[in-house]
Amino acid sequence: MDTNEAYNRIKELRKQLEEHNYRYYVLAEPVITDREYDELMDELVKLEKEFPRFADPGSPSQRVGSDISSEFTQVRHVYPMLSLSNTYSHEELADFDARVRKNIIEPFEYVCELKYDGTAVSLTYERGALIRAVTRGDGVQGDDVTANVKTIRSIPLRLRGSDYPELFEIRGEVFLPREGFLKLNREKEKKGEALFANPRNAAAGTLKLQKSSLVAKRPLDCVFYALYGEELLEDTHWGNLIKAREWGFRISGEMRKCANLDEVFEYIGYWDKNRLELPFDIDGIVIKVNSLKQQKKLGYTAKSPRWAISWKFSAERAATILRSIDFQVGRTGAITPVANLDPVPLSGTTVKRASLHNSDYIELMDIREGDTVFVEKGGEIIPKIVGIDSSKRPDSSQRLKFIDKCPACGVNLRKDPDEARHYCPNHSGCPPQIRGRLNHFVSRKAMNINMADATAGQLISAGLVRDPADLYSLRKEDVIKLERFAQKSAENLVKSIDESRNRPYHNVLYATGIRYVGETVARRLAENFSSVDELASAGVEILAETEEIGEKIAASIAHFFEDPVNRQFIEKLKRAGVQLQRRDDNLNKPAGGALKGKKFVVSGVFENYSRDEIKEVIRKNGGSVVSAVSASTDFVVAGENMGPAKLEKARRLGIPVISENELEEIAGKQKS
């Protein structure tokens, strides 16, 4: 075969294979057998190897995968992948509907979709070709898994037609059908390997394999549920998904438009009864406002959209015997009682342990060793004890007495009157707390140091690390003495520690482990306090005014910096050279602007902007957004249905209450 013949045959094979993928996965109307498909694919792969000049990253041959191992790189999402708020009751869903109706005056409709139980991915297409696939990660950034995603046959590498936007993202759920999951576990069992607990774990684990050739051998599937971009063709969520189906994407045939809440409940009821008849797992229903304009008006909270909610199906319940109770010490010193159970199958996994939360929970439930207990999975993930069969309680049963000393260091426990948990106050001397803080510090969402949990224990036991700041004093010669460390692995650890010095300021704040300061709170603190010194010197009142920082979090932050041990820890981090002040490339907050130094409270619903867009205008012009009205507030930006308490307090304190148009004028921003 000469070059021209090869080129023409390669083009023809690619066209045929793309058409067969579309017919099989999107239309569910295959016209050839699997064997015939494989023969076409084998011919294409051989020709492309023989004529490498015709290689194409969008070729169907990419679905075979590669044997080359590749580390995943981190990619920042253009559109953050936020999680959905969950609801389990009719009342909570009715509350969601009421909030939507309060803020959307004109008619609207919902789109209901199955909530596939897999792992989320975001795919970017440019000029009709797949250029990138990224996992959800922490919602802000995820792993680039493009090579692995290309092996999934239900995902188009090139789009059909020509009316798609030049650049857009599409979100989907990668999952394993039940039949494929059972087959995969049978193969693992034959090899003597550990089995996957459930299809969700199997899908997530497969997508993170280092060799795409191995991914190609597993029957992953993908269904798509949302489009993002600046030039989408339709003004409704439903319309965009229908267009996406024409371009070759697999869109769920079970989604439905609902005119009101009664129709939503009807849809939920149907799938609650019939979900087991599906060939794949679902764990709930997603309800979305259909209009993109109305979605924009409703906006977002820090963690989730206000225009969508997830209904979770009732958890599966199982009965088993509680044999004993252990007491665990967390990194903050919190004591968590954990029940050891007779193993029992539940929602695709075998449950052996369940959290008992705190002493109040144990006392309220009157939980005792030897009891027959009912176990559920909260959100079908975390096992919890929800009841007791008292008729089966042994005659010798005795009420449980909660411990009064730390099980790890023997120090007397403390329980504040307004707290539900007991705490070990030995912050700097309790081994589980030290190890927990170290593991938290190196975690991916914190300093992202490539270090195993077991290594933390070794470093502490060897006396090399007393607090996380000591990591920056480690030398390769120190590490190589540890068990399971060789020259290369020691060099890699020291290199990873050194690279963490460049982690952004908000990641460092999260890594310090201040109680109640999670990722979102850390980001807010970094936006409002330019350095750790400014944060440390802020009093409780100023901290509590910051957006999303209430009095409880403010008191915890102030208490952290009052502790001499913590102050010494921060000083060691400074000497190590980690980022303890904001940089422009970290959070994109301008140093100047027409609103520099001004504090704003934003409340109500706005005509031209979502609430988040109002806040962005303020921040881009140098101002800051606080959550509570106080004497130090400069302006209140008020929309419709503003909270009456905030309005009254602003008037009492003489704080100007302005509209969105007045904000534009103050900011010097002219609408185009």
CA gap 224, 240 in Å, rounded: 11
Beta bridge partner(s), residue 114: 285
Provide φ and ψ at 308, rounded to 5°: -145, 155
Tokens describing residue 412: 């007397």
CA gap 48, 323 in Å, rounded: 62
Whether the CB-CB separation of 9 and 47 falls below 8 Å is answered with yes
CA gap 521, 513 in Å, rounded: 12
What does the angle CA 343 – CA 344 – CA 349 come to, to the nearest 5 degrees? 100
Q: Which of these is catalytic: 46, 49, 102, 115?
A: 115
Tokens describing residue 440: 């938290």
In sequence order, which residues have a C-beta less than 8 Å from that of residue 134 and are 6 or more positions away?
75, 77, 121, 122, 123, 124, 141, 142, 143, 144, 145
> Between helices 178-190 and 199-207, what is the axis angle to 10°?
70
CA gap 88, 475 in Å, rounded: 51
Provide φ and ψ at 122, rounded to 5°: -120, 125
Whether the CB-CB separation of 620 and 609 falls below 8 Å is answered with no
CA gap 242, 232 in Å, rounded: 12
CA gap 193, 645 in Å, rounded: 61
Amino acid at 164: Y
Residue 330 gets which letter from DSSP? -
Residue 194 gets which letter from DSSP? P
Among 274, 277, 298, which Cα is nearest to 287's? 298
- 520 SS3 class: helix
Amino acid at 562: E
CA gap 338, 320 in Å, rounded: 15
Whether the CB-CB separation of 368 and 293 falls below 8 Å is answered with no
CA gap 439, 446 in Å, rounded: 10
Reply yes or no on whether 297 is catalytic.
no
Distances (CA, A) of 89 to 268, 288, 384, 640: 11, 17, 18, 29
Distances (CA, A) of 624 to 355, 524, 533, 546, 665: 40, 10, 18, 8, 17
Distances (CA, A) of 100 to 104, 260, 627: 6, 12, 22
Among 227, 226, 228, 246, which Cα is nearest to 159's? 246
Whether the CB-CB separation of 349 and 315 falls below 8 Å is answered with no
Whether the CB-CB separation of 80 and 63 falls below 8 Å is answered with no
Whether the CB-CB separation of 293 and 331 falls below 8 Å is answered with no
- Give catalytic residue positions: 115
